[in-house]
Structure 1
Amino acid sequence: MEKMMKLAAVAMLLTLVIVGEVKLSSADGGFCGMTQEGLLACKPSVSGQNPTSPSNACCNALKGASMSCLCAYKNNNVLPAFGINPKRAMELPVACNLPPPPCQK
């Protein structure tokens, strides 16, 4: 069952990439201006029952992120498919002492 869920999530992501809804940077292979390393650094802060405070690596990655791009996923099923709580994701910049995303103002 878990294998099917992962396969479905990958298929959904590939579909979104193909239709152009996911803004991937071809230069660094990132998502909304964040590298894979940056995304992984932030995941513990936006997933699970007891999320951690964002790490310095996460906050540094967020400095270069496109907040308007991230807002595009606020009400999308992509983030929950990867175990990410969209509400926590939108609150993450403020937790890093950065301006809130435009969709949170």
Structure 2
Amino acid sequence: MGKNNVKILITVFAMVLTAAMMIQEAKSIPLCKVNTNDLQKCRPAVTGNYSPPPTPACCTVAKTANLECLCPFLSRSGIDPAKLKVLFAKCGVNNPSCLP
């Protein structure tokens, strides 16, 4: 491959990567005072058998979100309510009314 072809290939790759990142950002929907993509920051803390403690980024999301507004989504998420309670306790957030 010639030097010009490599430059073109790198430019095209950079454009595709940029477009993919823009599309990913567009998929985030504001919901209950938090972007849906930000909710993923808490996923490790509420999934699996041996969940790690919530990260500071997760706690920021938990403190920012309107948890009462998120109740319908939390109750249908399939996430163990006990794990949600642990997450909220470790982040210093009150449990929403929908958690038993």
Please state whether the residue corresponding to 2:88 is helix, strand or coil: helix
Question: Partners in 2 of 1:69 and 1:53 — Cα distance?
Answer: 24
TM-score, normalisation: structure 1: 0.55
Equivalent in the alignment of 2:88: 93
Structure whose residues are more often helix by fraction = 2
Any idea what the Cα deviations from partners look like across 1:50-81, whole Å, max 9, x if unmatched? 111000000001111111122223442xx12x
Residues 86 and 58 of structure 1, relative CA distance in 2, 3 Å threshold: same
Larger radius of gyration: 2
Number of positions where the alignment pairs a residue of Structure 1 with one of Structure 2: 73
Task: Using the TM superposition, give the Cα deviation of residue 101 of structure 1 relative to its aligned residue in structure 2, in angstroms.
Answer: 1.6
What CA RMSD, in Å, does the superposition of the two structures yield over aligned residues?
Answer: 2.4
TM-score for both structures, normalised by structure 2 = 0.57
1:15-66 residue CA offsets vs partner (Å, 9 max, x unmatched) = xxxxxxxxxxxxx613433224421110000101111100000000111111
Unaligned runs of 5+ in 2: 1-27
Match status 1:102 vs 2:100: no
* Percent of pairs with identical residues: 29
Aligned partners of 2:80, 2:31: CA distance in 1, in Å? 16
Return 5+ residue gaps in structure 1 as ranges.
1-27
Equivalent position of 1:57 in the other structure: 57
In the alignment, is the contact (CA less than 8 A) between 2:46 and 2:83 conserved in 1?
Answer: yes
